[in-house]
Amino acid sequence: MELKVGDDGETDRKQYGSDLFWWLTVSIVAILVVGAGVFTILINFHHHRSQSHSSQPYDIVPKYASSLQLALQFFDVQKSGKVQNNRVWWRGDSGLRDGSEENLDLSKGLYDAGDLMKFGFPMAFTATVLSWAILEYGNNMDAVKQLDYALESLKWITDYLVNAHPFADVLYIQVGDPEVDHNCWERPENMTEKRPLTQVNSSFPGTEVAAETAAALAAASLVFKEINLTYSEILREHAQQLFMFADTYRVSYSVSIPQVGKYYNSSGYGDELLWASSWLYHATKDPSYLTYVTETNENEFGSIGSVSWFSWDDKHAATQVLLSRVNFFGARDIPDAENLDLQKYRETSEMLMCNLLPDSPTATTNRTKSGQIWVVPWNSLQHSVASAFLAVLYSDYMLTSQTENLYCSGKMYKPVDLRKFAISQVEYVLGENPMKMSFLVGYGSNYPKYIHHRGSSIPVNAKTGCKDGFKWYDSPQPNPNVAFGAIVGGPFFNETYNDFRNNSMQAEPTTYSNALLVALLSGLVASSSVVSSF
């Protein structure tokens, strides 16, 4: 039909133009909305891929999940202070006046082992390792509902460490007299003895303990950065002050205060200085901390080309692995010379990994007939668990960076080989050993019943003083209170274990060994890789 031009036609043209304009407007808006949506999805996808912690772990291992829950619970067993959210029914308030003689609140923190001492050096190490575990494997912890417990335990220690550092050049490193403490056997809730304080300062320095505390607070500042920024900044400020103090007055605390050497004697402070500077580099991104561990002090303290065993006293191996992380994932604006030094740290880490792999041409002979890493008789499991944790980390660094192979004197290994080694170590701890015994209290049915631990060995309703509590120490009965989650010292080289309360070499648990076990289990509880930065 031919359209007739007239009044009605003009109206139709106006209506048609209006409709066309409306549809064009709607279409453009729709295109913009869809485009924005696609852009947002792409941005979120990129962010999701770059932040591994946002991805859900998979293949959760139930036995490791239950073991992790137990291991974290031991920190509640060891708490000093006003009990809060404590899962251990037989523990109550204790140490509430610690620090009061110097107008400090040192009531928090953790008792070191089976005793009632607060030793700052191993306690700070506990916090550093726990922080590292959360930073690398917090998503795994969260997947099995243990992250909040780990964070709470960490803050219990860092609150104490912050209060123990009232001035830039003063750090309180010990609460209690170990000679008095070890001549008593009593529950922490009932102790009445004086608990003197020991400090390091500019007149009586303690490089390693100040540096280890700096490492702990720097690492923890990263943990709390997204949770409580103000607290994170407080931790970082204390860490930087403590590092400056440690580096300015280079004297071992065992030299300044000889009496501390009887319990936690230091073999040297160079490793702690590098360890602390490495953590401060991650926490601040200040390149001067990286220069400190590479160009400035690598030759003197780095122990490049030398394999060592990670422990509360020696952080060389852990520092080498932590700096390998920087080399694996790269960082902007690192000078070529420093990158070459980082490569040396990584090569030394590879030497350790080859040392740990049981069928490597360079495998260590420091292992039992069953294959458990064994270095010293006192607290023997510490080195096997620590080595396994480093192996899991290195395996995940390889996976995340898509590094396929590790070469050991011409023989090729994959990341899964390191993970298998780590699994073999933790399985030994959990009962796959000639004794068919779990060394984690509360796991399985056959675990140590007579651990060397005051609170565990004395009934809650017992009224004991310093000396009369020894009747419980000498009792032939199993401990009345189960210290769930404690990892004991471990077996002798011939793979025997004597379950006696007076056998402190084998039967005493420590908080720092538990931190290492928490870290190891967090890496194994689910199949996941680490984040590339934190």
The long-range contacts involving 55-60, CB below 8 angstroms and separated by at least 24 positions, are 55/139, 55/528, 56/139, 56/143, 57/139, 57/140, 57/143, 57/525, 57/526, 57/527, 57/528, 58/526, 58/527, 58/528, 59/526, 59/527, 60/143, 60/144, 60/525, 60/526
Mention every residue, 6+ apart, whose C-beta is less than 8 A from residue 8: none
- Number of C-beta neighbours around residue 251 at 10 A: 15
% of the chain with per-residue pLDDT over 70: 89
Per-residue model confidence (pLDDT) at position 57: 67
Per-residue model confidence (pLDDT) at position 464: 85
Per-residue model confidence (pLDDT) at position 38: 36
Measured distance CA(488)–CA(379) in Å, rounded: 7
Q: How many residues does the chain have?
A: 534
Q: If we measure between CA atoms, which residue out of 512, 510, 491 comes closest to residue 375?
A: 491
Split into its structural domains, the chain has a count of: 1
**10-residue mean pLDDT series, the chain (534 residues):** 35 39 40 38 33 61 98 98 90 97 98 98 98 97 97 98 98 97 95 96 98 98 97 98 98 95 94 98 97 94 93 98 95 88 97 98 97 97 98 97 96 98 98 98 97 97 91 97 98 98 97 98 90 86
In a domain, 322, yes or no: yes
In a domain, 363, yes or no: yes
DSSP 221-264: HHHTTTT-HHHHHHHHHHHHHHHHHHHHS---HHHHSGGGHHHH
Mention every residue, 6+ apart, whose C-beta is less than 8 A from residue 212: 121, 124, 125, 128, 272, 275, 276, 315
In a domain, 21, yes or no: no
| C-beta of residue 444 within 8 angstroms of C-beta of residue 430 | yes
Q: Phi first, then psi: give them for residue 243, nearest 5 degrees.
A: -65, -40
Per-residue model confidence (pLDDT) at position 55: 56
In a domain, 415, yes or no: yes
Question: Which residue range is the domain that position 381 belongs to?
Answer: 58-525
In a domain, 17, yes or no: no
Angle, alpha carbons 237-240-245 (nearest 5°): 125
In a domain, 449, yes or no: yes
- Parallel, antiparallel, or unpaired: how do β-strands 197-201 and 170-175 relate? antiparallel
Q: Please name the amino acid found at residue 129.
A: V
Mention every residue, 6+ apart, whose C-beta is less than 8 A from residue 478: 449, 450
Rounded to the nearest 10°, the torsion over CA 173, 126, 438, 458 is 40
In a domain, 11, yes or no: no
Q: Which of 165, 238, 452, 453 is catalytic?
A: 452
- Number of C-beta neighbours around residue 466 at 10 A: 16
Side-chain half-sphere exposure of 329, counting CA atoms within 13 A: 18
Per-residue model confidence (pLDDT) at position 472: 96
What's the CATH code of the domain at 386?
A: 1.50.10.10
Q: What residues pair up with 118 in beta bridges, in sequence order? A: 175
In a domain, 164, yes or no: yes
Q: What residues pair up with 413 in beta bridges, in sequence order? A: 406
Q: Please name the amino acid found at residue 255.
A: V
| C-beta of residue 424 within 8 angstroms of C-beta of residue 359 | no
Per-residue model confidence (pLDDT) at position 56: 64
DSSP 259-284: GGHHHH--S-SHHHHHHHHHHHHHHH
Per-residue model confidence (pLDDT) at position 398: 97
| C-beta of residue 81 within 8 angstroms of C-beta of residue 95 | yes
Measured distance CA(487)–CA(490) in Å, rounded: 8
Per-residue model confidence (pLDDT) at position 333: 84
Per-residue model confidence (pLDDT) at position 46: 34
What is residue 297's DSSP assignment?
T
Under DSSP, is residue 55 helix (H, G, I), strand (E, B) or coil?
coil
Measured distance CA(106)–CA(159) in Å, rounded: 9
| C-beta of residue 205 within 8 angstroms of C-beta of residue 253 | yes
Measured distance CA(313)–CA(121) in Å, rounded: 9
Per-residue model confidence (pLDDT) at position 332: 77
**Catalytic annotation on 452?**
yes
